[in-house]
Structure 1
Amino acid sequence: MRVIASRPVQGYFFERSFRVSGKGFINADHPVTPASGSRVVGQVRQRQQGSRPAPSANNRADQVYQQLRKAILHGQILSRTRLVEAEVAEQFDASRTPVREAISRLIRDRLVTPLAGGGVEVVDTESEYDEICCIREALEGAAARLAAARITEAELGRLDELLQESHRSMLGDIQGRVATNRAFHEIIFNASRSERLIAMINDFREFFLNEQVLVKYSRRDTETAVKHHSDIVAALRARDGNRVEKLVRRHLEQFRRRARKSRLTQG
């Protein structure tokens, strides 16, 4: 699947191409002629065709929604990109009904906004990033407070294991550190046993590309984060809801400061 924003450049069309692969979207900026662009579209369509039965409209809408949402949040479809229902349907080889539902969900997520001339435009989430981080701090802090009274011994034991993994992990093992950090936070907010709160947290967690931030962490930053995790586990084991909420919010505030610095450096 390709979502294309194009403009003429010295007799060529400069296309921003987003192709669905087995690993998700691939962003590739490249100048192509109209002829070569048509050839690529044909190749993508051939890869999408297969003998598998067609999914239901609801499943198809969810597939389109999830792929577009991921591409937008990961910066593979850039802000201010215009998406047109008919074009997206053609590129996904889908009918317009599931695409319309997917776009409606993106509008409700505030990831795209309707345009007066038709279609929708991807919003600039970069300008809201600091605000979104503050919301995350409040939500995960509240979840930690609830978890203090509801977390099980088995869950506390798993947090201890993740702490040990954090101590053993190498500074350059970004993917391993991301996986450990994600698992640590998931155990805590899932221990809140609040389905509504968990759903809200999961919605916001997709905004945070931890790899981009952790790669900027110094050894001291990493040691501080691991110390925060240790303090959080101790407060949970003591069933101290007030303290653990404060600790989680302080921990995520550090992430927000580092994320802001990282994004300013990249800019």
Structure 2
Amino acid sequence: MTLNSPVARRLLSDEVFQRLRDSIVRGELAPGERVRDAELAERLGLSRTPVREALARLVESGLVEAKPGVYTRVTSLNRHDVEKTLAVLRSLDRLAVETAVPLLTKQDLERMRQANRDFERAVAAEDTDAALEADDRFHAVPLAVADNPVLRRVVEQLHPQIHRILYRKFTTLLGGRNTVEHHDRLLTFCARADARAAADLSARHWSELGGHINRLFECDEL
């Protein structure tokens, strides 16, 4: 779906939020680009109220920044802020994995394996949207099994920011290929119920992602 498709009259602000979020993640709305509720409402065929509500949520998630009466614009990608976000997500992911691994069932592991198979196919097909969705499904399993509402809420709050980076990472063959291999290794430790090794591996992967992001900044691709 694009920003130009009409929106169904249910859960309007949720739908607008999701469309704007995805447009920012994919770079269709560029860093620093001004967004105006009246223009968006016209494009979506809506009143301004659900658009304003969606923009307020995007400000809370860090994807949009606003100065009342001056501007509302897509947040620029800042290396320092990205590094801080990654550091928090690394710690949260480590906690989720270490908590979940002893509790994972065969069905949980199979869901992770299927998500990784879907991810690998998406990478081979250069389908970045499908790769991002499959990666989310893979990591959602331990997050759900950890059964920590506070942990899940904070991770979900931060995810849209990091999705902007992952989207660009998965557009490269290497970016997708090394994630497939990471998932495979993580699954091995999960199947052994080795929580410490799984958590350590997951934390290292976030650190490697930080290095990849630094290279993207240095190449001016962000």
Coarse TM-score class (shorter-chain normalised): 0.7 to 0.9
What displacement does 1:139 show?
A: 1.8
Mark the CA change 1:262 to 1:111 in structure 2 (over 3 Å): closer, same or farther. closer
Query: Which whole-Å CA distance do the structure 1 matches of 2:123 and 2:35 have between them?
Result: 40
Please list every run of 5 or more consecutive structure 1 residues that lacks an aligned counterpart in the other structure: 1-22, 26-43
| TM-score between both structures, scaled by the size of structure 1 | 0.65
Match of residue 84, structure 1, among 29, 32, 36: 36
What displacement does 1:263 show?
A: 4.3
Q: Which has the higher contact order (CA 8 A, sep 6+)?
A: 2
Query: Which whole-Å CA distance do the structure 2 matches of 1:181 and 1:260 have between them?
Result: 21
What displacement does 1:248 show?
A: 0.7
Query: Which whole-Å CA distance do the structure 2 matches of 1:71 and 1:170 have between them?
Result: 19
Match of residue 208, structure 1, among 153, 160, 163: 163
Identical-residue share of aligned pairs (%): 20
User: By percentage of residues, which structure has more helix?
Assistant: 2
Query: Which whole-Å CA distance do the structure 2 matches of 1:180 and 1:93 have between them?
Result: 31
Mark the CA change 1:122 to 1:173 in structure 2 (over 3 Å): closer, same or farther. closer
What displacement does 1:250 show?
A: 0.7
Preserved contact between residue 123 and residue 170 of structure 2 (Cα < 8 Å): no
The secondary structure found in structure 2 opposite 1:114 is strand
For residues 151-175 of structure 1, give each alpha carbon's deviation from its aligned partner in whole angstroms, at most 9, with x where no partner exists.
1122224445667x49x86974443
Counting only pairs closer than 5 Å after superposition, residues 235-250 of structure 1 correspond to structure 2 as 235-250=189-204
| TM-score between both structures, scaled by the size of structure 2 | 0.75
For residues 45-67 of structure 1, give each alpha carbon's deviation from its aligned partner in whole angstroms, at most 9, with x where no partner exists.
xx74xxx9x614xx112222221
Preserved contact between residue 85 and residue 100 of structure 1 (Cα < 8 Å): yes
Match of residue 149, structure 1, among 98, 102, 105: 102
Please list every run of 5 or more consecutive structure 2 residues that lacks an aligned counterpart in the other structure: none
The secondary structure found in structure 2 opposite 1:75 is coil
Preserved contact between residue 112 and residue 120 of structure 1 (Cα < 8 Å): yes
What displacement does 1:118 show?
A: 4.0
Aligned residue-pair number: 215
**Other-structure match for 1:24:** 2
Counting only pairs closer than 5 Å after superposition, residues 168-247 of structure 1 correspond to structure 2 as 172-175=124-127, 178=131, 181-206=135-160, 207-208=162-163, 210=166, 212-218=168-174, 222=177, 225-226=179-180, 228-247=182-201
Q: Which has the larger radius of gyration?
A: 1
> What is the root-mean-square deviation in Å for CA atoms of aligned residues?
3.4
What displacement does 1:215 show?
A: 4.5
User: By percentage of residues, which structure has more strand?
Assistant: 1
Mark the CA change 1:205 to 1:117 in structure 2 (over 3 Å): closer, same or farther. closer
Match of residue 67, structure 1, among 19, 23, 39: 19
Mark the CA change 1:229 to 1:85 in structure 2 (over 3 Å): closer, same or farther. closer
